[in-house]
Amino acid sequence: MKNRYDRRRFIRDASLTAGAITFSKSLLAKTNNHKITASGRIGIIGLDTSHSIAFTKSLNGSNPSEKYKGFKIVAAYPQGSADIESSVKRIPGYTEEVKKLGVEIVQSIQELLTKVDFVLLETNDGRPHLDQAVQVIKAGKTLFIDKPVAGSLRDAIKIFKAADQYHVPVFSSSSLRYMESAQEAAKGKVGKIVGADTYSPATLEKTHPDFFWYGIHGVEILYTVMGIGCKQITRTSTDNTDIVVGVWNDGRVGTFRGTRIGSHDYGGTAYGEKGNLVLGPFKGYDNLLDQIIEFFKTGIPPVSKAEILEIYTFMEAADESKRNKGQAILLEEVFKKAVH
C-alpha cells in the first residue's frame, strides 16, 4: 500500500500539463535540505570519461580558479561501464592521471561516501546510474550526474523520485548548456526565442537509446534556448544523420540535427524577436564546472528536474518516432508510459 501511495504522489507531483512535463515548485523547495557551504570534499564515481580528468585538473591543479577555492576532488571510485569497450579501456590510464593530482582511489561507492561531501557521478554508461545514484542519495550527498542522467527515461524518473524521498539535491546537464552563446540567447540577447535549430554529433551506442549517448549535447542546446513545453516530435533517420522536429505548446518549432559523418562540431541558430544568434563554438568544461560548484555551495539545481526529464522524454520520443517510421509522437504519452 505504501508503494502505491508513493507512486501516486510522484505521478501527481510530476504531472503532465498540456503536453509539457511540470513539477511543483513547492515540492522542489521542500526536498532541498542542503546547507549553504563555502568548501567541501568532492568524490568521483567513474573514471571512464574525459570529463573526470577535466574536472580534476580544474579543481586540483596548481592554479585553480578563485571560484573553486575550498573545493577539491579527494577520492574516486574508478569503475564505470562494465562492457562498453571505449569506456572500459580508459579506466587504467585515467586512474593514474587522477592519482597524480592527489586523488585517493577507493574500492567501492560505499567507501567513497565516507570520505566526501559531494559526488560527481561521471560513469559514461547510463545503465548503472540508477543504482549508483540511489546509493549516493541514501547517504544524503548532494549529487551531480553527468550525461546521460540514466540509461532509460524510466530510470531517470526513479532517480528523481529517490531524490525527493531522501530530500537530496540532484542536478544533471550536458556541458553544452553553458556554451556562452546559448546562455546569451536564453537570457534574452535577441529577445524572446521564436525558434531554434541545433546540431551535434550523434554517434550511437547499442546499449542506450539513440540520443542518450551523444546526441544529448545538441538536444540540451535546443532546450537551453527554447525552454520546456515541447508537445510532439517527428524524426527522420538515416545511417548518417537524424533530424528531429519538435513543436512546442505555443506553436514554436525547434529542430535538432544529429550527425555521424563530417565535422565533429556543436552549434546552431537561435531565432529571436530582435534578431538571430549563432550558437557556438564550444570552448570547454569550465562553464559547467562553475555551475556544479555553485550547486554544491547552495544546493539549488540550476536546471529543474522538469526540464531534465522533458529532455529525456524528447529523446525517448525520438526513438519511438524512428520505430514508427517518422510518425509524430506526443511527449505526454511517452512520459506516462515510462512512469507506469
Q: Are residues 152 and 189 in the same domain?
A: no
Q: Are residues 197 and 112 in the same domain?
A: no
Q: Are residues 19 and 117 in the same domain?
A: yes
> What CATH number is given to the structural domain containing 39?
3.40.50.720
Place of cell 566526501: 116
Asked if residue 26 has pLDDT above 70, the reply is no
pLDDT for position 186: 98
What does the pLDDT look like over 55-67, one tens digit per residue?
A: 999 999 999 999 9
Cell numbers linked to 316: 525517448
Q: Say if 308 falls within a structural domain.
A: no
Q: Are residues 78 and 183 in the same domain?
A: no
Q: Say if 309 falls within a structural domain.
A: no
Domain residues for 26? 2-174+288-299
Q: Say if 249 falls within a structural domain.
A: yes
Asked if residue 10 has pLDDT above 90, the reply is no
> What CATH number is given to the structural domain containing 231?
3.30.360.10
What does the pLDDT look like over 183-212, one tens digit per residue?
A: 999 999 999 999 999 999 999 999 999 999
pLDDT for position 19: 43
pLDDT band at 33 (very low <50, low <70, confident <90, very high): low
Tell me how many domains the chain contains.
2
pLDDT for position 32: 62
Q: Are residues 139 and 53 in the same domain?
A: yes
Asked if residue 21 has pLDDT above 90, the reply is no
Q: Say if 311 falls within a structural domain.
A: no
pLDDT for position 1: 41
Please state, in angstroms and rounded to a whole number, the distance separating the CA atoms of residues 35 and 276.
41
Q: Are residues 133 and 201 in the same domain?
A: no
Biggest alpha carbon–alpha carbon distance for the chain: 55
Asked if residue 35 has pLDDT above 90, the reply is no
Q: Are residues 68 and 82 in the same domain?
A: yes
* Helices of type H across the chain: 2-13, 25-30, 50-60, 85-88, 91-100, 109-113, 129-138, 153-166, 180-186, 210-213, 216-226, 286-298, 305-323, 331-339
Average pLDDT over the chain, rounded to whole?
92
Q: Are residues 329 and 271 in the same domain?
A: yes
Q: Which residues pair with 270 in a beta bridge?
A: 196, 277
